Every structure is written in C-alpha cells, then in structure tokens.
A and B are shown apart, each in its own frame.
Chain A
Amino acid sequence: MKLFEYEAKEIFKSYGIPVPRGVVVSKDDNIREVLSRENLEPPVVVKAQVLVGGRGKAGGVKIARTWSDLERIAENMFTSGVKGVKPRLLLIEELVEHDTELYLSVVLDRASRRPLVLASTEGGVDIEEIAREKPEAIHRLHVDPFVGLRGYMARKLGKQLGFNGRLLTRFEALTTTLYRIFAALDAELAEINPLALTSDGFVALDAKIIIDDNALWRHSDLASEGRLELSGEYTEWELYARRRGLAFVELEGCIGIMGNGAGLTMATMDLVLMQGGKPANFLDIGGGASAERVKTALELLYKYPKAKSIFINIFGGITRGDEVAKGIVAAVSELGQQKPIVVRLSGTRAKEGKEILEKAGIVAYEDPLEAAKKAVELAGECK
C-alpha cells in the first residue's frame, strides 16, 4: 500500500525528519483561511495528493506566486486531476530555497535478501534515470536486518557523498531515522527524492513510503476502511474485484482472461498476444478455487466492459476441472452466455469438467494455443 505524500511527511515529521511547512486542503476549504491560520502565503508549492507515477510531469506539482495564482491552480487540479485521477486533497507547502537536490532511500534488496540504502547526490530525477545515466553516482549500503543501520555505516555513506563536519552527523541522523521508519512500518520502500540541501541542513521535499500489503494488519492505523477507494492506486474494476477477493489487474485490450495461478494467468495473457489479440485483464482465481469462486470471477468478466470475449485457461492441480466447470455452468445458466466463452481445461478432473461443460453447450479445448486463437477471433477487433 502506497502512502500519500502528506501521510508519509507526517510520519517523517513525527520521527524528526525535516519537511517543508505545509497544509492539506480539500475542495471545499477556503484556501486563504487555511493557509493564513498556519502563517503560510504565496509563493507556495501546490501538490496534488495522488499516487500516479510521474506526477510532476503530468502537472500535479505547481508553484503559485500569488493568491489568485494559487486559487486558479488549486481549482484546476481538483477539477481536471492528474492523469485522470482527481485528488481529494492538495498539499500546499512553503517554497524551500536550496542549492542541491539529493536522493536517499531504503529498499528491500531481493538478491541479498537485505535492506539496501541507496544514496546519490544526483537527486530530483527518478532513481531509474540515475541508474541509467550515471550509475557510479549511486552509493549502496547493505544492512543486516538483525543489526540495523548503525551510525558508523551511515557516516561511511555520508563520506562517500562528500559530507563533513556538521553535515555528516546530520546525514547520519537523517539516514538512520529513515531506516527506522522503513523497519517500523514494514516498508518495501522509504524514499526521499528530492532531498534538499539548504543552508540549514536537509529537508525532505518529497516523501514516498510503500507498506507491505501482507503486514497491514500490524498497521491498522494507516490502512483505514475505504482508503483504497480514495487512493487512486486501483481502477474502479480492480477495486470491485478486490472487494470480492479476486486478484485482478485492468489492461488495455479486449480479451477477458481468467486463469488459475499467477504464472499461468500471465502466460495466458502472453498467449493471447501471440495470437494477435490483446488481453483486457489479469484475473487469477488462485489455487483450489470452488465453483462459487469461479462463478464470481465469470460474473466480473461479464460486467467488465473491456472484455469482448472470455478465455478461461485452467490447469487442474489443486484446482479441480469439474469444480471450475460447475462454476462456469452456474454463471451461464443464471445469467446466460452474455459474451463468447472459450475454455481450456487440462489436468485434474479435466475429463469430468469437459463433460459438464459440453452438456451446457460450452466447448472445452485441450490445446491452449487453439483456444487462445478462438478467443481472439471471437472478440473481433480491439478498439
């Protein structure tokens, strides 16, 4: 779960990481009043609180020089949104004068299975871009999760970045604090980019925290009810599926996909592409799905407007072919065959499953390529 910038900055502040002075406003607030209460006035930075990538480039971050500027920008952001996502809140902050922009983050390093601190003097752009353009500018430090990030390690990193004296000890405090946040919040990523270097020291101009979904039960204060709906992280149909406990990702094409297991479902999408079609979604019913679950998944693809045809690809292992077939038939007999359905069944109880399907007038294929081809043909041209 990604936190909004303003939430991450509140956490930073509570741990003692300096952030710009700012306020959060919603559409109905009187911006002048809210800012005046906090002794803030233009020039300010206006930042749409959305979780889409490339927010700055998409017009989600603007500088307002005057009050009228500010009101116009805010109005604009609320109504037109960023990449189609309308923010519920804007973060309005003082402008922080600074010379240098740095990069600092703590991530999970999959290869070493350890936390990894990344620091660079080339901040302000994506870390991917730094890694591509100037990989030698990224300094890396692996941390033993049982020892944690000790002061001397952070100082060593600070030295590599060229800090001395007071700045070195401040960098140490900042980095060890960011690590503490990473560990305390079960974060997959805790990132400050850009990290401004001012005459007063370091200020986190942006803040990004991603919390491990599997650890949200430890952070119920952050994962409030209805939060996913507000986040803009998921599309309407992804939220619809999540509420029904289905792993679903919306895509651009027109062939509805259902599979069992993440790998097979992805491979099914790829198969459709190879047959000249475009998948409309990723939908994994998981292992050992019941007929009820299959029915729910099929109902979702019926409703999901992008899917023009439906390709169900099942290899029975723990999942049973006859259960899947029962679920499909239940949905079809209740709701009719609203969209063309192509089924490929193999593995455990595939034969029984095929009999169930054929009785209901649904063809089940053995060959996945042939089935994919049929699904593409039935969908017609994707718009």
Chain B
Amino acid sequence: MAILVDKNTRVIVQGITGREGSFHTKLMLEYGTKIVAGVTPGKGGAEVHGVPVYDTVEDALAEHPEVNTSIVFVPARFAPDAVYEAIDAGIRLVVVITEHIPVHDTMRMVNYARNKGTIIVGPNTPGVISPGKSKVGIMPAEAFTPGPVAIISRSGTLTYEVAAQLTKIGIGQSTVLGVGGDPIIGLDFTEAMKLLEEDNETRLLVLIGEIGGDMEERAAAMIERGEFTKPVVAFIAGRTAPPGKRMGHAGAIISMGMGDYKSKVEALRRAGVDVAETPFDVAKLVKKHLT
C-alpha cells in the first residue's frame, strides 16, 4: 500500500525547465516515477527529457487528467504562486522542494490547502519516496529498498543515512517522507502517522526529529493516547545545540523555552518510543523490534 505516493502516482513537475527541476526530473524518470507533464510559464510546447511542458497547470491537466501529484522546484519568490495554482487545479498532493519561502507565505498557503483538501509536503523537503513504486523528491535512490519500515523526518541527509543503513542490513522501507526543515510546514509528524497507522505495509516507524517546535512532543502524545499503535524508533538531532541559535534549518531553533532536546526525548521515551543515542544506532534498534 504505502502512503502518499505509489504505483498510481502521476506527477507534474512545476519549474521543470530550471536547473534543479530538469536534473531531478531525469532522476525521477530513471527511478520509474510516472512524470506525465511539466509546467513553466512561457515555456509551453517545449520538452524536458521527453516530458511535455505547459504554460499552466490547467493546460497540463487538460491533456493529462490522470495527474494527482505535483512537485514544485520553482524559486522561493514564485513558489507560493505555483502552489496555489496546483491547489486550485484540484491536485491532491503537492510536494514543495523549494527552500527559503517566506514563512508568512507558507502559512497562508498551507491553510488554503487544508481548506481545499490538498496535502502539502514541505516546503524545504527532500520529498517522499515509496521504494520500488514511486519517488517524488530529490533523495538518492540507492539508499532505499522496498520493505516494512516507514521513515518520517525533518532532515534530508539523516534520512538517507538511516535508510542506507537499513537497506544495508536487508530491511526495506514502505514510505520515506521528509516533512521539511521550515518552522511552518504542510503535512506534519502526527498527520503522517495517522496515514501510516492505516497502512498495512508499514510495520514499524522511524521518526527523525530535531530541536525546535513541538512536533516530536505531539507525536509522543499521539502514541500515548493509543492513536498510533505500531512500534516506533526515534532519533533527535541537536543535543548540543544552544538555545536561540538557528541550526541551519529555519525551523531548528530552541525559542521561547520550547523545543529542546531533553523535552523531546523525555516525551518520546514516556510514550514507550525507543530513542537511539546516535543516528547510527537506529538500524540496530529497528532490527531488534522487527525480529
């Protein structure tokens, strides 16, 4: 089954003619992702790696009504416009790779999406992959293999690291989701966990969190309430991060006394989650729970 993306995923790439858009379109196609169209205003009629390009999302959907997913590579200043366009066209899932979108723009965009019933992943995310089925993102494909473990993460590189270790010891993944490193994001930990609870392919969840915000605490509360019943292994980055400093990601900041390492780890442990000391211990813990 997997969540969000699978064999039925049909993708348009917004910003397909840009450097990143074009490069990753090629890699996604190589992975087997069904990319049926691209959109770049003013470039309608062109082709990128054999994918037809349209001026608007509406034009693309008129020719390709099977589209249900968009991936956005549009630069930050224009990305919200692209996302609204996708939402208004009725696309179910919009994956926003773009980094540095102003947070007020994101806030409005994700509220609008929620009212319209569109799921936004990101911004500032590596995307989502259901190994062997579909990859809608920029993650290196070699790290992933099909299997029973779902990963939800705030960090790109750590996700690849953990997935590669799992893959190395023969444990594959159902769906791997980067929720994005910004303070305000679309789909978050608890919302993704609701989907994973229902996913019969997922037997275990790996949560990769970091300092800042309270997403990990809310995930812990959800587990404690009994709303997520599968085993969970977690890692939280930023044990040594000082308060008030932004650690690379816009969202990775301990502010107003909230979001430090200790609070997250304690909440998760209280909920019975196995919290790994380092990202390199995650695979071992997963193996222990699966056997």
Are B103 and A188 within 8 A (Cβ)? yes
Are B110 and A264 within 8 A (Cβ)? no
Are A110 and B238 within 8 A (Cβ)? no
CB neighbours (8 Å) of A127 from chain B are: 256-257
Known: A217-B77, A262-B252, A266-B252. A114 touches B160 (CB 8 A): no
Known: A110-B215, A145-B111, A287-B156. A266 touches B183 (CB 8 A): no
Interface stretch (choices B64-72, B169-177, B243-251): B243-251
The answer to the question of A212 belonging to the interface, with a C-beta cut-off of 8 Å to chain B, is: yes
CB neighbours (8 Å) of A132 from chain B are: 257
The answer to the question of B1 belonging to the interface, with a C-beta cut-off of 8 Å to chain A, is: no
Are A145 and B104 within 8 A (Cβ)? yes
Residue A128 contacts which of B181, B249, B256 (CB distance < 8 angstroms)?
A: B256
CB neighbours (8 Å) of A267 from chain B are: 158, 235, 237, 278-279
Closest A residue to B139 using CB positions: A317
The answer to the question of A53 belonging to the interface, with a C-beta cut-off of 8 Å to chain B, is: yes
**What mask results when residues 193 to 216 of chain B are scored 1 for a CB within 8 Å of chain A, else 0?**
000000000000000101101110
Closest beta carbon of chain B to A104's beta carbon, Å:
14
Closest B residue to A284 using CB positions: B248
Q: List 18 A-B contacts (CB under 8 A).
A: A108-B103, A111-B213, A127-B257, A145-B108, A146-B112, A186-B103, A215-B104, A249-B245, A249-B246, A264-B157, A264-B279, A267-B278, A267-B279, A269-B241, A270-B278, A278-B240, A318-B138, A319-B157
Q: What 8 A-B pairs have minimum CB-CB distances, sorted nearest first?
A: A263-B155, A262-B248, A261-B157, A128-B257, A215-B102, A263-B158, A266-B237, A264-B157
Known: A110-B214, A319-B157. 17 other contacts (CB 8 A): A110-B251, A113-B185, A114-B107, A128-B257, A144-B111, A146-B108, A186-B104, A212-B104, A213-B250, A214-B250, A217-B77, A262-B249, A263-B208, A317-B143, A317-B156, A347-B143, A369-B278
User: Which residues in A have some Cβ–Cβ distance to B below 8 Å?
Assistant: 53, 107-108, 110-111, 113-115, 126-128, 131-132, 144-146, 183, 186, 188, 212-215, 217-218, 247, 249, 251, 259-267, 269-274, 278-279, 282, 284, 287, 315-319, 346-348, 368-369
User: Which residues in B have some Cβ–Cβ distance to A below 8 Å?
Assistant: 76-77, 100-105, 107-108, 110-112, 138-140, 142-143, 153-161, 164, 181, 183-185, 208, 210-211, 213-215, 218, 235, 237-242, 244-252, 256-257, 277-280
